[in-house]
C-alpha cells in the first residue's frame, strides 16, 4: 500500500529528475552531494566571496551570483522584515557640541549647538516580530538624521563587529540563525544545530561569537546599551580631505545587562520589557541620551594597525584610538502610530550626505546594494520615500515619477534632464552636491577575482582580546552561554568542532565549556588560517562591569510592602529616589495596596504575582512580622526575594522580613548585598546600588 509520504517522495524524485535532464553534469559536486548553482542552473565556483576589483577593492556590480542571492534573500518575506523584525522607535534630536568643519562638511557637525531631528529604531536581529525583547541576540541601533542636506542613515548595532566579512554570506548566517526550515523552531534563539554548524565552519565568526555569548547580547534596556556603526566610513571636509571614522553611541546612563536566568524570566513576565521601558522613560520625561563618539584615524594609522580596518569582524580598541565625543542624542517623543512610523521607517546604509562617504568594506558594499532592494519589496513601491517617516525635512526635487502609490510627481512639462525649457527644472550642482571621495592613494586596480585578502585572515586574536578584557564574572557568563547553547545541539560533532575553534581563543575557555558539556577530552585545535596573536593587551573598554554608571539614575526599584510596614521608611525611600531620578514601584499582595503603620492606605503598582523582582534593578522589602509571615506562604513572594538574591541584586529591608527570608532559604545567606534601612539611609542604599550588582555573591553561588 502506498502512503501519502511515499507518493510525495516519488513526485519529488520525478521533479528532480525533470530538472536534471539536460544538465546532468551539474548534479554531483566534489566530495559528493549536489553542486550549488544559480537559479539559472549555472554552477557556482565560489560562494564565499563577492567579486571585487583587486584584493581590497570595491565589489563589482556584474557579480550576478551575489546579486541573485541577495535579491532572493531580500524578498523572502512580506511585510515583516527578514531581519530586525521586532523593533521599537522614538523621535528626538542630535545636538552637536562644536564645529567639526576641519574633518567633515556634513551638515549636523557644522556648528556648535546645531540640532538635527532624528528617528531611532532599536531591534533584535534574528527574531520574528512576535518574539520576546529579552532574547539573546544582537540589537539593531539605527538612526535616521533629517539633516538640512538630506537624510543620513547611520544603521548600526549594539556590537561593533559582525559574523561575516563578506555580504554574500549574509543570507547564510541569517538562515542558520533563524528557526530551522523543516520544523519552524526554535525561534528567538541561536541554541540549535543549524546556527552552530554554520559558525563552527566559519572561523571568521569567532570574534562575534564572543560578543553574543557575552552580556552584551542581553541588555537590561535600550537606554543602557552602546551603539556602533560597525564599518569604517570616511569623513570628508570641504577641501576634499578624508579621515577614516568609526561611529560609537555611548549611553549617558552607563551600560547594564541582565543575567541569563533573569532574561528568561523577564521574557515570561513581560515579553515587551524593552519597549515598555523606552515608552515609560520618554512619557515620564526621563529622556534617554547617548553621546556620539568618533574614532578618527588616517591612512598612516590604517597601514600600521595590526588588523585591516576594512574587516567588519575587527575593532580598533579605544585604548589605541580614543573615542572623541562630539554631540548628544536625546529621544524625547514617542511615535503617534507604531505602524506608520516604527514599522514603515526604511533605513538604508547608502543614505549618506555630503561630508560622509563609504570605504571598500565588502560587507558595507553589499549592504549598500541590499537595503534599497529590501525596502522596495517590504513597502511595495519605489515611492517609500514619500512616507512621512522616510521623507527628508529639507527641500528636495527629483525628476522621478509615477510608480505604485506615487504621492509626489514633477509639476509641469519637464520630467527629464537636460532640457531647454524655462524654467528648466532641477539641475545638478557640482559645488553643493554629494561628491564621492577620490582617493589619490587607491591601489584598487587588479584582476577581478573572488577572494579574501590575506589581511582578513586572523580570526582569533581579537576574540581572545575580548575574552581576557572581561571580569571574572563576565568570563563566567560567556562560558555558561557557550555551554548552554552548545548543549542544545543534537549533533556531537558540531559541539566538538566549535570547541576546536575555541581552543584558538583561550584554552581555559575551551576547557571550561568542554567540562560543562561533559566532554572528557578536548579536540585538537582547528588549524587557523593565520596564527593568532596571543599577547594583545586587554581592552578595559570592552567590559560592561568596568564601565558602569556614575549614579543609579534611570533605574527602577521594586518595593515589596505589607500591611503594617513602616510608613516613614517608605516616605524616605520615595523622596530620595525622586531626588536621584530613580523610579519606585510598590508591589503588594493585592493591587489594591496595603495599610501601612500610620494607618494610611497605600495603593500598589503591581500585585506580587505580576511584579517579580526580575523587572527591577534593585529591591526593598518593607514588612511587618505578620505581613512577612503571610508573604512567606506565597510562592511568588518567596521567588521575589530568592530571584533577587540569585541575580545578585542589592536587597534593602526594614521592619521584620525574617519570616519571608527564612521561607526563601536566605536567612543564612545574607551578605553585604543586604542593606538594613533601619540602620542606613536610603541615600546610602542607592549609592550601593550604583554598582548595579553585588557580584561577589555570584562567585559564591557558582
Q: Which residues are catalytic?
A: 84, 157
- Selection from 555, 529, 510 nearest residue 311 by Cα: 529
CB contact at 8 A, 487 and 468: no
Coil/strand/helix, residue 321? coil
- Could you count the other beta carbons within 10 Å of the beta carbon of residue 358? 19
Give CA separation, 32 vs 19, 26, 28, 35, 36, in Å: 19, 12, 6, 9, 12
CB contact at 8 A, 313 and 208: yes
Q: What is the DSSP letter of 302?
A: H
- Selection from 259, 230, 210, 209 nearest residue 158 by Cα: 230
- Selection from 476, 35, 77, 102 nearest residue 294 by Cα: 102
- DSSP structure string for 479-537: HHHHHHHHHT-S-HHHHHHHHHHHTTT-HHHHHHHHHHHT-SSPPPPPPPSSPPP--PP
Specify the DSSP element, H or E, that contains 365: helix 362-379
Tally helices (H) and strands (E) across the chain: 20, 20
Specify the DSSP element, H or E, that contains 651: strand 651-655
| Strand 448-450, strand 51-53: pairing | antiparallel
C-alpha span between 688 and 694 (Å, rounded): 9
Any long-range contacts for 197-202 (C-beta under 8 Å, 24+ apart)?
Answer: 197/489, 197/491, 197/494, 198/172, 198/173, 199/163, 199/173, 199/498, 200/494, 200/497, 200/498, 200/501, 201/497, 202/163, 202/164, 202/169, 202/173
Q: Is the dihedral of CA 270, 271, 276, 278 positive or negative?
A: positive
- Selection from 314, 267, 281 nearest residue 295 by Cα: 314
Amino acid at each position: 500500500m502506498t502512503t501519502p509520504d511515499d507518493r510525495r517522495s516519488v513526485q519529488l524524485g520525478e521533479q528532480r529528475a525533470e530538472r536534471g535532464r539536460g544538465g546532468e553534469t551539474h548534479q554531483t559536486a566534489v566530495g559528493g552531494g549536489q553542486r550549488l548553482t544559480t537559479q539559472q542552473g549555472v554552477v557556482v565556483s565560489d560562494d564565499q566571496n563577492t567579486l571585487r576589483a583587486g584584493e581590497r577593492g570595491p565589489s563589482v556590480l556584474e557579480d550576478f551570483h551575489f546579486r541573485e542571492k541577495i535579491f532572493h534573500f531580500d524578498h523572502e518575506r512580506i511585510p515583516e522584515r527578514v531581519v530586525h523584525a521586532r523593533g521599537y522607535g522614538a523621535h528626538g534630536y542630535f545636538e552637536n557640541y562644536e564645529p567639526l568643519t576641519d574633518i567633515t562638511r556634513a551638515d549636523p557637525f557644522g556648528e556648535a549647538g546645531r540640532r538635527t531631528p532624528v528617528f531611532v529604531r532599536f531591534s533584535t536581529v534574528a527574531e520574528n516580530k512576535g518574539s520576546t525583547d529579552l532574547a539573546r541576540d544582537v540589537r539593531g541601533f539605527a538612526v535616521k538624521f533629517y539633516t538640512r542636506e538630506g537624510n543620513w542613515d547611520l544603521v548600526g548595532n549594539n556590537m561593533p563587529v559582525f559574523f561575516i566579512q563578506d555580504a554574500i554570506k549574509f543570507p547564510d548566517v541569517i538562515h542558520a540563525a533563524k528557526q530551522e526550515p523543516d520544523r519552524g523552531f526554535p525561534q528567538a534563539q541561536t541554541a540549535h544545530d543549524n546556527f552552530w554548524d554554520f559558525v563552527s565552519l566559519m572561523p571568521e565568526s569567532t570574534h562575534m561569537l564572543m560578543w553574543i555569548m557575552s552580556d552584551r547580547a542581553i541588555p537590561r534596556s535600550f537606554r543602557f546599551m552602546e551603539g556602533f556603526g560597525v564599518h569604517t566610513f570616511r569623513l570628508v571636509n570641504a577641501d576634499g580631505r578624508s579621515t577614516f571614522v568609526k561611529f560609537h553611541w555611548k549611553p549617558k546612563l552607563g551600560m547594564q545587562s541582565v543575567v541569563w536566568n533573569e532574561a528568561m524570566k523577564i521574557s515570561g513576565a513581560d515579553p515587551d520589557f524593552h519597549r515598555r521601558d523606552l515608552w515609560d522613560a520618554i512619557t515620564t520625561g526621563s529622556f534617554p541620551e547617548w553621546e556620539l563618539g568618533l574614532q578618527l584615524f588616517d591612512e598612516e594609522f590604517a597601514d600600521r594597525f595590526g588588523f585591516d580596518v576594512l574587516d567588519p569582524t575587527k575593532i580598533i580598541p579605544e585604548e589605541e584610538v580614543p573615542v572623541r565625543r562630539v554631540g548628544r542624542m536625546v529621544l524625547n517623543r514617542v511615535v503617534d502610530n507604531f505602524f506608520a512610523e516604527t514599522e514603515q521607517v526604511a533605513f538604508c546604509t547608502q543614505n549618506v550626505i555630503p561630508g560622509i562617504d563609504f570605504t571598500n568594506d565588502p560587507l558595507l558594499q553589499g549592504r549598500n546594494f541590499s537595503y534599497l532592494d529590501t525596502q522596495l519589496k517590504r513597502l511595495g513601491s519605489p515611492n517609500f520615500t514619500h512616507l512621512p517617516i522616510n521623507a527628508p525635512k529639507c527641500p528636495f526635487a527629483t525628476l522621478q515619477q509615477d510608480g505604485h502609490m506615487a504621492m509626489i510627481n514633477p509639476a509641469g512639462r519637464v520630467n527629464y534632464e537636460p532640457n531647454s525649457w524655462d524654467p528648466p527644472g532641477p539641475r545638478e550642482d557640482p559645488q553643493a552636491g554629494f561628491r564621492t571621495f577620490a582617493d589619490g592613494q587607491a591601489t584598487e586596480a587588479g584582476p577581478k577575482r573572488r577572494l579574501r585578502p590575506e589581511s582578513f585572515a586572523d580570526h582569533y586574536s581579537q576574540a581572545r582580546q575580548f575574552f581576557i578584557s572581561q571580569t571574572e564574572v563576565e568570563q563566567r557568563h560567556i562560558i555558561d552561554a557557550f555551554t548552554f547553547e552548545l548543549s542544545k545541539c543534537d549533533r556531537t560533532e558540531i559541539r566538538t568542532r566549535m570547541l576546536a575553534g575555541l581552543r584558538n581563543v583561550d584554552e581555559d575557555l575551551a576547557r571550561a565549556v568542554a567540562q560543562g558539556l561533559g566532554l572528557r577530552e578536548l579536540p585538537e585545535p582547528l588549524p587557523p588560517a593565520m596564527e593568532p596573536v596571543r599577547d594583545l593587551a586587554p581592552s578595559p573598554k570592552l567590559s560592561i562591569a568596568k564601565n558602569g554608571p556614575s549614579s543609579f539614575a534611570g533605574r527602577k526599584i521594586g518595593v515589596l510592602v505589607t500591611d503594617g510596614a513602616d510608613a516613614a521608611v517608605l516616605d524616605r525611600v520615595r523622596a530620595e529616589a525622586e531626588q536621584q531620578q530613580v523610579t519606585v514601584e510598590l508591589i503588594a499582595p493585592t493591587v489594591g495596596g496595603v495599610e501601612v503603620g500610620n494607618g494610611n492606605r497605600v495603593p500598589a503598582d503591581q500585585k506580587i504575582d505580576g511584579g517579580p523582582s526580575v523587572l527591577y534593578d534593585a529591591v526593598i522589602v518593607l514588612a511587618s512580622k505578620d505581613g512577612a509571615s503571610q508573604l512567606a506562604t506565597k510562592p511568588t513572594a518567596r521567588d521575589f526575594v530568592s530571584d533577587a538574591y540569585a541575580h545578585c541584586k542589592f536587597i534593602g529591608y526594614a521592619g521584620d522580613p525574617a519570616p519571608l527570608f527564612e521561607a526563601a532559604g536566605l536567612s543564612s545567606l545574607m551578605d553585604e548585598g543586604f542593606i538594613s534601612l533601619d540602620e542606613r539611609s536610603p541615600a546610602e542604599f542607592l549609592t550601593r546600588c550604583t554598582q548595579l550588582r553585588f557580584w561577589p555573591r555570584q562567585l559564591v553561588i557558582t
